[in-house]
Every structure is written in C-alpha cells, then in structure tokens.
C-alpha cells in the first residue's frame, strides 16, 4: 500500500540526513521542501544533497529551474504529483521533507486565489501595524519582518477590500494532500544553534563566497533567489556594504533567526503532528512505515 509522510524541522536540524537514511532503509524517494534547492547552481548556500546522495536516492524538488526563473506553489504542486506518481508506480514510500513549511501547508489547506502584488510606499512596520488593527489573526502568525507575506496581505486587502485571513479561508481550493502524517524534529536553541555555527563554518570553507560571486556575476544583485540567508550576506561583502570579517557571524545570526521563524510556523500551522528529538523520531517513523 502506498505511504507518504512529512518530516519537518528548522534549518540544520538533520532532517535531510534522517530522510536519506529512511529512504535507503525503506525503499523510499524524497520530495524536498527546501525553497532554495529548486534552483540549479545554488548548491552550497542551500545545503543541497550531495551528488552521491542524489544518485543513491531519487529526489524530487531539486535542481528544477535557474535562479532567475520564477518558481511558484503551483510549480511545487506539480512536482509533488510527479513524485507521488513515481513512488506509487514503483512501489516506494514518499518522504516529504524540508524547512519550507509554506509549500506543505498550501497543499494541505488548498490554494488561495492568485492576487497580484500592489505597489506601495508603506514600510513593513506600517503594513504590520495596519494588519494588527484589521486582521489580528494574521498579525499573530507572522513576523513584522516578513516582507513577502506582509506585501501579500496588503495586496489582498487593497484589491478585495476584505479581511485577508477571512478572504483566503473562504476562497481556497480543495486540498491536494489530506490526512498526511507529519513528524517534526524538535531542535531547541541549545541543540540547534551549535549545529548552525558549525554548518556555517563548513559552508564558508567549502567555497560559499566563490559560489556567491559566480551567482551574482551571472544573475545580478536584483535576483530574488539570491536574497536568501547566506547568499545575501555574501552579496553585501562583494558590494562593499559589510566587511568580510563580519560574514560568518552575520550568517550565523540570520540563520538562527530563520530557524526561530520556522519553529514558530510549524507550531502554529501544523497542529496534528508527532514531535520528538531526532534520536527518537526515527523509531516513530519506522513504526509508522511498518504499520505498527
């Protein structure tokens, strides 16, 4: 019988290694939930699976488009359908894993109507203050530094004239995935932060700056995909905005902040899940796969 499940966890929590080990042990394929891994050439900054890992286990959601090409939730859903068909046809389990919980949430909740972004001179703070008054349910879930979702919220508000959270709830399509079993890696800061520090050092040693220089030269500083943690800071070094001496510390700080946002998102958006430290989670997942 076909089985699929999700493994969520903040950046650097070990979810990719866990998924790979499970896929090798239980004849599985992996669908990456990482927003950066979809891009070709962004390898070190995305902590993308190695070439050997990609050969040993079939991966979906990796190396799909160039950094200057658009990739949407709809594109991800198409990739999910390909992964599911492949797994079902080849009698494999499907492991959906990554830190971009937004993709998974969209598939489990249904897609919202497409609303084009509006142009505004309002700052993030001003939009967030407006959302506090108009739509406190939204404001309670998202950060006032989340430029992407604040602009989406404001665009829906201006175009529809309705409270965005209510508008989205009442106008969603049918969910793509129903009743998905979700496992979450619990990674408190005292456990995760040292892992982030070590991973940042390894990324820099592995040539993060050279990768960034190549990408910015090829795609330019306005490329949205390059405005991500790790690459953004490298771009600021290359453009002379910050000193190279500050690079490592800034990436570590911003990655720790990202992990905190991810934990908050998982907690608020995925209520029915099994959460445990990674050392315990493998056993829980093994029981689920085996039907115990």
Question: Binding site residues for substrate, as ranges?
Answer: 11-16
- Cβ contact 10:192 at 8 Å: yes
Neighbours of 192 (CB within 10 A): 23
Residues at the annotated binding site?
Answer: 9-16
Q: How far apart are CA 65 and CA 265, in angstroms?
A: 26
- Cβ contact 208:199 at 8 Å: no
Residues at the annotated binding site for ATP?
Answer: 9-16
- Give Dmax over CA atoms of the chain in angstroms: 57
Environment class of residue 127 by beta-carbon count within 10 Å: exposed (0-12), middle (13-18) or buried (19+)?
A: buried
CA-wise closest residue to 13 among 252, 214, 292, 277: 277
What are residue 167's phi and psi, to 5 degrees? Answer: -60, -45
Q: How far apart are CA 39 and CA 131, in angstroms?
A: 33
CA-wise closest residue to 37 among 29, 28, 27, 45: 45
Question: H helices of the chain, where?
Answer: 15-26, 51-56, 73-89, 101-109, 124-134, 136-141, 147-160, 164-170, 189-205, 208-219, 231-238, 247-269, 278-290
* Residues β-bridged to residue 184: 8, 275
């Amino acid at each position: 019988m076909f089985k699929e499940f999700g493994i969520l966890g903040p950046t650097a929590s070990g979810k990719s290694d866990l998924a790979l080990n499970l896929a090798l042990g239980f004849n599985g394929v992996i669908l990456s939930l990482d927003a950066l891994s979809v891009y070709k050439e962004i390898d070190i900054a995305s902590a993308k699976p190695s070439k050997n890992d990609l050969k040993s286990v079939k991966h979906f959601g990796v190396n799909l488009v160039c950094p200057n090409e658009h990739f949407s939730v709809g594109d991800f859903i198409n990739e999910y359908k390909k992964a599911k068909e492949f797994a079902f046809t080849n009698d494999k389990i499907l492991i959906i894993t990554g830190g971009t919980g937004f993709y998974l949430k969209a598939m489990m909740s249904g897609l919202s109507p497409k609303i084009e972004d509006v142009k505004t001179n309002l700052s993030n703070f001003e939009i967030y203050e407006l959302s506090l008054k108009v739509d406190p349910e939204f404001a309670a879930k998202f950060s006032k530094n989340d430029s992407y979702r604040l602009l989406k919220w404001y665009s829906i508000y201006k175009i529809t004239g309705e409270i965005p959270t209510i508008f989205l709830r009442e106008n969603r399509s049918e969910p793509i995935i129903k009743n998905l079993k979700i496992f979450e890696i619990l990674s408190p800061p005292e456990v995760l932060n040292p892992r982030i520090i070590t991973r940042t050092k390894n990324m820099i040693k592995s040539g993060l700056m050279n990768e960034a220089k190549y990408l910015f030269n090829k795609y330019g500083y306005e490329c949205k995909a390059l405005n991500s943690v790790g690459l953004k800071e490298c771009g600021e070094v290359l453009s002379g905005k910050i000193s190279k001496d500050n690079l490592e510390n800034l990436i570590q700080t911003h990655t720790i902040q990202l992990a905190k946002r991810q934990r908050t998102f998982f907690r608020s958006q995925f209520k029915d899940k099994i959460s445990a430290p990674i050392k315990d989670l493998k056993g829980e997942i093994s029981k689920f796969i085996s039907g115990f």
